[in-house]
Structures are given as C-alpha cells and as structure tokens.
Amino acid sequence: MILYPAIDLKDGQCVRLYKGAMEQATVFSDDPAAQARAFVAAGCEWLHLVDLNGAFAGHPVNAEAVESILAAVDVPAQLGGGIRDMATIERWLDRGLARVILGTVAVENPELVREAARAFPGKVAVGIDARGGRVATRGWAEETEVQATDLARSFEDAGVAAIIYTDIDRDGAMQGPNVAATAALALAVSIPVIASGGVSSIADLIALKGSGAPLNGAISGRALYDGAIDLGAALAALKD
C-alpha cells in the first residue's frame, strides 16, 4: 500500500484545511518545493498535490507552485483541483505530472473522464469526495444527490487509473479515516482505491491496510506536518 504525502496549495503556500473549509486553513510552509524535497528525502514514492484555489475557481491557480514541485523532485506526482477540460489535462501531463485527478467533472461531465482515460492510459484518476456517502463538488462547496459508490461504479469500464476517495468530514480533523466506507467502496469496484481524509497515525494506516479491501494507498497531510506520523516509520510499517 502506497503512502501519498499531501501538499495542498492555497495562495502558493502549503496548507491544510479543516473539513474542507477554506477559511480554516493552517499554513505549514511557504516553500512547496522544499516541502516536496523533504517528503522525498524521507523516502516517499509518490506525491499528492491539490490546487485548492483551483478547485473553487474551476481552473488552475497554483500552477507556479506545482511546477516548482515538479522541477524539484523526481518521484511521480498526482494533482487535483480545477482540472475541468481536456486542454488543462494535456497541459499538466505535458509538464510532467504522472496523473491528473478529475473530481467535479466526474459528476458534471463524465464523458470527459472517459475521453481523457482513453487518450492518456494510466494517467487519469477520479476524485470522489463525499459527506455522508453523497458526492460533493466544486471544492466541496456543492453537495449532490449522487452516491459515492454509484459514481465509482459508473467508471468501471472507463479505464481510469485510480479512485481517490475522501471522507470530507474526516479531512484535516485528525479523527482517523472512515475505514469501513473506504473498504466498502474498494470492494464494490475493480478500480484501485486510494483512501483520503483523517489519516492521523500509523495505526490508521495499518487499519486501512488490514481492512480486507485491496486498497492501493492512503493520503496523509496534516499528520505528517504536525509530526503525528513520522513518514519514514510509516513507510517502513506499510512495507512489513
């Protein structure tokens, strides 16, 4: 199971939100590239990047910060936030991203997800962010009636590389991930699932790994910045 350290970008800085609220952002670094280098030095094999401003604006906002990260490290990185058309997908992949994450458009324009997955095999993931099992879009500001599992199943034949499943009510709250819901989603589809939201200890990672579902990985942010998770120790624990 892969551990994806998260670098969430707001106004060019590395931040973490509390339950997705932009007004409850804690700044952890004003040098995203240096933060990326620190994660890689500790042994991470992937990075998870989010353009928070972009998620609300509907187009990339923190491109300069993302590009500084891509220039600073040589591990693959995936990015979500404000990627809502084919031109933006192509542009990011051309700039060295290993994978783009499509969230809002997965609900509003699912055919774009299918088109992108066909055009760029292995490089398109779907971000499913949910409150109480229902999908939220546009930076989590708009709730839909779409069930997370139904949305995931709708892409079974699309060729997407992964699903990043975030339980919004756990995100940044340091209360542990929703292991049951994440495992249930992973068991409901054949697409690899990455857990996100609430991972705050090595015990949480071990619980996800031992959930009985074939999870591809887990994303952690605040716990790594706060020191609640030692990245090196966590990576070692997941390899055992």
Segments of the chain assigned E as strands? 2-10, 13-18, 21-29, 47-51, 77-80, 99-102, 124-131, 134-137, 142-147, 162-167, 193-196, 217-220
Nearest to 130 by CA among 155, 149, 114, 111: 149
Which residue in the list 8, 51, 171, 204 is annotated as catalytic?
8
| End-to-end CA separation in angstroms for the chain | 10
Which residue in the list 51, 129, 171, 204 is annotated as catalytic?
129
Task: Measure Cα distances from 159 to 30, 115, 130, 183, 208 in Å.
Answer: 36, 10, 22, 21, 24
The count of residues in the chain is 240
Active-site residue, 8 included: yes
Provide the sign of the torsion angle of the four alpha carbons 26, 91, 1, 74, taken in this order.
negative
Catalytic residue numbers read 8, 129
